[in-house]
Amino acid sequence: MENFIKRVEELKREKGVVILAHYYCRPEVQRVADFLGDSLALSVKARDIEAKTILFAGVHFMGETAKVLSPEKRVLIPNPEATCSLAESCPAADFAKFKAQYPEAVVVAYVNTTVGVKALTDICCTSSNALQVVESIPQDKTIIFAPDKNLGSYIQKVTGRKNMILWDGACHVHEKFSKEGILELKKSHPEAKVVVHPECRGEVADLADYCGSTAGILSYCGKSDGDTFIVVTEPGILAEMEKRYPHKHFIPAPSIEGKACNECEYMKMITLESIIACLENESPIIELDEDTRKKASKSIEAMVKVG
Ligand code: 13P
Ligand code: SF4
């Protein structure tokens, strides 16, 4: 593995490429990243970074978002088959028909969507800023919230907002965390704080001491006086937790299938080998239709303005 890491570092220098990686990536992929973050931080970084070429170690919609915000940059993606079950649960053509039924509604879409859906959206959000985005919309407006019904319900519960129409989509990773498994773990670790990503089902989010994005969870674990945490999100985040807080203890939450943790197989498709091949070949790259990109860019920029 050390040889692969050395090779990535050589190629990055030689080709002037900056690597952005999501917290759910494999630990060795996180090691070669110049910037590690949640989807909001990575979108902003992709826009502001100086480099001409970015390699996005994350799923497809993340690379697309980088290209939407920085069309002049080349965005390399190590594995175009690394998609996202949540983004795939909302095809743009179906979403266009759905949206047409509510012509007065403001469309809020989570960044975990394809560029086609973002182009049909008024304002994007991530799990970090979904609350602020929804609160920035006047109370009397109906909101279409897509594609994650769990995040949508969570925001509805926190804001008390009635007029939200939810698209029926979900992330197969976060849907599979089990309430019973977490309660069982709590028996042997009663002092543990439960940290949950809002893509989890409501009955799981209800067990949370803290519910928020990956970046929010990381920051909560640092500030909290607790020293043991049951982590109810993709376990790739544990590498960063253990690096930042070596004296604290992190336990991945089990899935309804009884697995000790719940991995996103799409994020795990990004390997050091695929990064090396991508840097050597300078391909695959993200290419977008310019009209769709411009429309999508408006909804992402609207989000970045809110915060
Ligand atoms: P974040 O917005 O926390 O980065 O989450 C991205 C994601 O894919 C969650 O499943
Ligand atoms: Fe998509 Fe879920 Fe994987 Fe996140 S964890 S990238 S939402 S499939």
Residue 103 has pLDDT above 90, yes or no: yes
Ligand 2 within 6 A of 266 CB?
Answer: yes
Phi, psi of 211 (to 5 degrees): -125, 120
Ligand 2 within 6 A of 276 CB?
Answer: no
Among the bound ligands, the one closest to the CA of 88? 2
Per-residue confidence (pLDDT) for residue 75, from 0 to 100:
96
DSSP string, 207-219: T-SEE--HHHHHH
- Ligand 1 pocket test, pick from 30, 83, 114, 127 with the greatest ligand atom count within 8 Å of Cβ, gives 127
Nearest atom in ligand 2 to the alpha carbon of residue 234 is 5
Nearest to 35, CA basis, from 50, 21, 15, 54 = 21
Whether domain 2-82+267-287 has CATH 3.40.50.10800:
yes
Nearest atom in ligand 1 to the alpha carbon of residue 215 is 3
Residue type, 10: E
Bond before 103 cis per omega within 30 degrees:
no
Which sign does the torsion angle of CA 156, 258, 58, 171 carry?
negative
Average pLDDT over residues 145-149: 97
Question: What is the Rg, in whole angstroms, of the alpha carbon atoms belonging to the chain?
Answer: 19
- Ligand 2 pocket test, pick from 29, 266, 270 with the greatest ligand atom count within 8 Å of Cβ, gives 266
Nearest to 83, CA basis, from 117, 60, 57 = 60
pLDDT grade for 158, boundaries at 50, 70 and 90: very high
- Ligand 2 pocket test, pick from 40, 59, 196 with the greatest ligand atom count within 8 Å of Cβ, gives 59
**Which residue is closest in CA terms to ligand 2's atom 3?**
264
The fold adopted by the segment(s) 174-252 is Rossmann fold (3.40.50)
Q: Answer yes or no: are the C-beta atoms of 40 and 128 closer than 8 Å.
A: yes
Dist. CA 31–CA 126, nearest whole Å:
24
**Which residue is closest in CA terms to ligand 2's atom 6?**
84
pLDDT tens digits for 199-238?
A: 999 999 999 999 999 989 999 999 999 999 999 999 999 9
Look over the chain and give the mean of its residue pLDDT values, rounded to a whole number: 94
In the chain, CATH 3.40.50.10800 covers 2-82+267-287, 86-172+296-306, 174-252
Nearest atom in ligand 2 to the alpha carbon of residue 171 is 2
What pTM was estimated for this model as a whole?
0.92
Dist. CA 207–CA 183, nearest whole Å:
8
254 CB burial (10 A radius; 0-12, 13-18, 19+): buried
What CATH architecture applies to the domain 86-172+296-306? 3-Layer(aba) Sandwich (3.40)
Ligand 2 within 6 A of 112 CB?
Answer: yes
pLDDT tens digits for 15-57?
A: 999 999 999 999 999 999 999 998 878 878 988 998 999 999 9
Among the bound ligands, the one closest to the CA of 218? 1
The number of beta carbons lying within 10 Å of the beta carbon of residue 49 is 16
Per-residue confidence (pLDDT) for residue 127, from 0 to 100:
87
Q: Answer yes or no: are the C-beta atoms of 145 and 168 closer than 8 Å.
A: no
